[in-house]
């Protein structure tokens, strides 16, 4: 399929160039058509015009395919200007000489005047051309050459700039995708490390909740393996994953911890990047769980038609308050992923006030 598209693109490009040349060379004849009907051209004049066209086409592609990329783009200004001047002089004087190979000229220049060429055997009535038009021939060809040269240079430079920008954009996207994949690969080990520690604690205590905890972990692993390969997932799936994690953590909580988890709004209609909430949820359990004092964890998720709001609030347990760290691996990863996936479309506030750790995340969709 890609080969067919490339072939079609080549054909379209060829046809575009062909039509452009036909239009360019037809303009003078369309403009001066009434006068051309009264003017007969000799074979030499026809040959000169055709060779002029061949030379102008040759210099156009010489300029766009070699001079611009090799000299102009590489800032070899003087070499480029010299090449253009040489090409112009070749264009102005060579076609006339080449045309004599195919047809005898009807006139020759002698002592600054044009006289009938003795070797010309055609109709001599059509050979006399006003001297004024002869003087205008070179200026006209010069203007045509510079016009085609300038147009070709602009097109070539613009195409290369667009190609460079496209390559730059693709490189940046590839870099971002690589970085996002790396961040995801960091999330999973960090998350599993904490979760397995929790299950290990249940197993050491020979808790009946160990088997259900393993099943919850299995469900969580299934989600991570199947859903996190996608750039975006349904918000309802992400909430279900978060709920499973909270229930897994809840198995080890004592009655000293008050836990609230609520979701409201148009949950089923929204999409979100996977694993965005879990670092903040982990932090809430990391710093908000105590077996010696009363603490609380409050997690709220609300969605509207154009915004997703995540809010987390937890009491900071006394025994770990002096070690509170809001710049751990999980939080740093979450911040970086938000910057990459929602540039200018999110607001994250993390604060500690009155022995309470608060996270407020607003994402505009």
Interstrand relation of 307-315 and 346-353 (parallel, antiparallel or unpaired): unpaired
Burial class (CB in 10 A: 0-12, 13-18, 19+), 265: middle
Domain extent, residue 144, equals 2-170
Are 140 and 164 found together in one domain?
Answer: yes
Quick one: pLDDT at residue 136? 45
Quick one: pLDDT at residue 106? 63
Are 10 and 131 found together in one domain?
Answer: yes
Quick one: pLDDT at residue 358? 93
Three-state DSSP class for residue 235: helix
Mean of the per-residue pLDDT values for the chain? 76
Are 240 and 345 found together in one domain?
Answer: yes
Are 153 and 267 found together in one domain?
Answer: no
Residue pair 158/64 in contact (Cβ under 8 Å)? The answer is no
Are 86 and 143 found together in one domain?
Answer: yes
Q: Among 267, 264, 319, which Cα is nearest to 295's?
A: 319
Q: Report which listed range, 73-87, 198-212, 256-270, is most confident.
A: 256-270
Domains in the chain: how many in total? 2
Q: Among 260, 239, 245, 233, which Cα is nearest to 303's?
A: 239
Domain boundary among 111, 140, 170: 170
Are 139 and 231 found together in one domain?
Answer: no
* Res. 88: pLDDT tops 90: no
List helix spans (H) across the chain. 2-31, 33-36, 43-62, 77-102, 131-204, 210-227, 235-250, 278-288, 329-341
Q: How many Å apart are CA 268 and CA 308, to the nearest integer?
A: 12
Taking the model in full, what pTM does it have? 0.53
Quick one: pLDDT at residue 133? 42
Domain harbouring 353, CATH code: 3.30.565.10
Domain boundary among 148, 170, 192: 170
Are 126 and 257 found together in one domain?
Answer: no
Are 219 and 163 found together in one domain?
Answer: no
**Which neighbouring-strand residues pair with 114?**
109
Interstrand relation of 107-110 and 113-116 (parallel, antiparallel or unpaired): antiparallel
Q: How many Å apart are CA 265 and CA 168, to the nearest integer?
A: 40
Are 161 and 200 found together in one domain?
Answer: no
Q: How many Å apart are CA 171 and CA 154, to the nearest integer?
A: 25
Domain boundary among 146, 170, 194: 170
Are 181 and 166 found together in one domain?
Answer: no
Quick one: pLDDT at residue 360? 95
Are 204 and 222 found together in one domain?
Answer: yes
Give tens-digit pLDDT for 349-365.
999 888 889 999 999 98
Are 132 and 256 found together in one domain?
Answer: no
List the structure tokens of 256: 């000293």
Q: Among 241, 233, 316, which Cα is nearest to 279's?
A: 241
Give tens-digit pLDDT for 143-195.
888 888 888 888 888 888 887 787 677 656 666 665 556 555 555 565 677 67
């Amino acid at each position: 399929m890609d080969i067919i598209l490339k072939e079609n693109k080549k054909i379209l490009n060829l046809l575009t160039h062909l039509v452009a040349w036909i239009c360019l060379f037809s303009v003078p004849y369309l403009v001066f058509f009434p006068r051309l009907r009264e003017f007969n051209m000799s074979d030499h004049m026809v040959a000169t015009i055709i060779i002029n066209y061949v030379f102008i086409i040759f210099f156009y592609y010489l300029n766009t395919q070699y001079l611009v990329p090799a000299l102009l783009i590489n800032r070899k200004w003087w070499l480029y200007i010299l090449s253009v001047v040489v090409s112009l002089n070749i264009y102005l004087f060579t076609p006339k000489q080449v045309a004599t190979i195919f047809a005898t000229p009807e006139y020759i220049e002698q002592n600054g005047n044009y006289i009938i060429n003795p070797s010309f055997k055609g109709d001599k009535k059509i050979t006399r051309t006003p001297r004024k038009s002869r003087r205008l021939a070179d200026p006209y060809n010069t203007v045509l050459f510079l016009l085609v040269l300038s147009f070709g240079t602009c097109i070539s430079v613009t195409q290369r700039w667009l190609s460079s920008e496209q390559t730059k954009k693709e490189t940046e996207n590839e870099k971002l995708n690589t970085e996002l994949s790396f961040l995801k690969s960091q999330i999973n080990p960090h998350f599993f490390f904490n979760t397995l520690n929790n299950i290990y604690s249940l197993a050491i205590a020979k808790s009946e909740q160990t088997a259900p905890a393993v099943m919850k972990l299995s469900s969580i692993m299934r989600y991570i393996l199947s859903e996190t390969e996608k750039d975006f997932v349904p918000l309802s799936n992400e909430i279900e994953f978060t709920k499973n994690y909270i229930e897994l953590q809840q198995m080890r909580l004592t009655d000293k911890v008050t836990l609230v988890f609520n979701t409201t709004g148009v949950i089923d209609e929204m999409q979100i990047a996977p694993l965005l909430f879990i670092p903040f949820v982990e932090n809430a359990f990391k710093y908000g769980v105590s077996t010696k004092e009363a603490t609380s964890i409050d997690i709220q998720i609300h969605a509207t038609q154009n915004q997703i709001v995540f809010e987390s609030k937890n009491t900071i347990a006394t025994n770990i308050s002096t070690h509170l760290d809001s710049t751990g691996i999980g939080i740093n990863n979450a911040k970086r992923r938000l910057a990459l996936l929602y540039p200018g479309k999110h607001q994250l506030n993390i604060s500690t006030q009155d022995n309470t750790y608060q996270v407020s995340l607003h994402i505009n969709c």
